[in-house]
Structure 1
């Protein structure tokens, strides 16, 4: 597994984030605050890495909210906005039939499955096409992480961050699904540790 530092950026806020809706693999755009958070993340990254930041590889999920966060971040760093790679393994966890709903909606409309998920946040797979568990996402991203051989900037999603932390030994399967994944900040993952900048 990669031992080089990973600089993980969650995409900026969308209206669905603000409303507490499960986005999953739906393509939702950044809102005004989300665009500003891309610039905030860029300043934090510049503070961490200085002029060296431009030499790193940048990889993003192919969803619109991550692409626009990456492009805004790179623009704020004075880098070519298009100078990054897309990797479909970084797309968000699929929530299947629950996408577009709030957790309150899910608990009301599907109480038995909601309770089953509460008992096993890491391993539970929601109903519907394209649905995944965090365990499945961790297996999806593991080959990408294993291929990283130098410090890398990744822009992806909250569910992916949880899977990446477990895959890199920076969180366990019990805690990871409950961790808050911040927007506009940098999650530094290195040598089995995690810290927010």
Structure 2
């Protein structure tokens, strides 16, 4: 089984460097184009279904990808919603850092909670689609920290429209690529 984690396409808040978290912000024109670009990259492999976070920016990206690949648009998973940034939602990143350094305080969801939701989503998707290759459209923070936890290595930011691959061919989840770039084989769980 293979999972392809795709970060949703760009929104106006991404372009303005604002924290969107669980706020439901739609894709902009650049984001829709990034979703179409992801279709071309994903088309080099075989995918069975596309699932997503229920937030509109992820769902819209998933719809574009499913249509472009000619595959099923599956359900959305609440566990895949982006980190809740509490009082910082809608703020520019730099401004939020002045108030809540390292994104702690202000009602910001702890990273441990984000990773736990990400792991739970992987388990549910694997149970819902055993042996299938699933494209999973969600959000940068949940992808970054969930895959970092799986790999035992902290990855840098996840780009809009990028694809990161994991598989469980060896019986446990292994991160194969981040932002479309192969992960060093020296990383372990």
Q: Does the pair score TM above 0.5? A: yes
Equivalent of 1:45 in 42, 45, 57 = 42
Equivalent of 2:3 in 1, 6, 27 = 6
Pairing of 1:28-43 with structure 2 (within 5 A): 28-43=25-40
Deviation string 1:3-54 (CA, Å, 9 cap, x unpaired) is x32101000000100110000000111010000011111110001x1xx32x
**When the two structures are aligned, how many residues end up with a matched partner?**
169
* Cα drift, residue 84 of structure 1: 1.4
RMSD: 1.8
Pairing of 1:74-153 with structure 2 (within 5 A): 74-79=66-71, 83-108=73-98, 110=99, 113-114=100-101, 117=102, 125-128=104-107, 131-147=108-124, 148=126, 149-150=130-131, 151-153=133-135
State the alpha-carbon separation in 2 of the partners of residues 71 and 125 from structure 1: 34
- Specify which structure has the bigger relative contact order, considering alpha-carbon pairs within 8 angstroms and separated by 6 or more residues: 1
Higher relative helix content: 1
Higher relative strand content: 2
Q: Which runs of 4+ in 1 moved over 6 A?
A: none
* Cα drift, residue 163 of structure 1: 2.8
Q: TM-score with structure 2 length normalisation? A: 0.81
The question of whether the paired residues in 2 share the 8 Å contact of 1:61 and 1:91 is answered with: yes
Q: How has the CA–CA distance of structure 1 residues 104 and 144 changed in structure 2, closer, same or farther, with 3 Å as cutoff?
A: closer
Equivalent of 1:65 in 31, 38, 57 = 57
Deviation string 1:61-100 (CA, Å, 9 cap, x unpaired) is 00010000000111222345xx211110000001100011
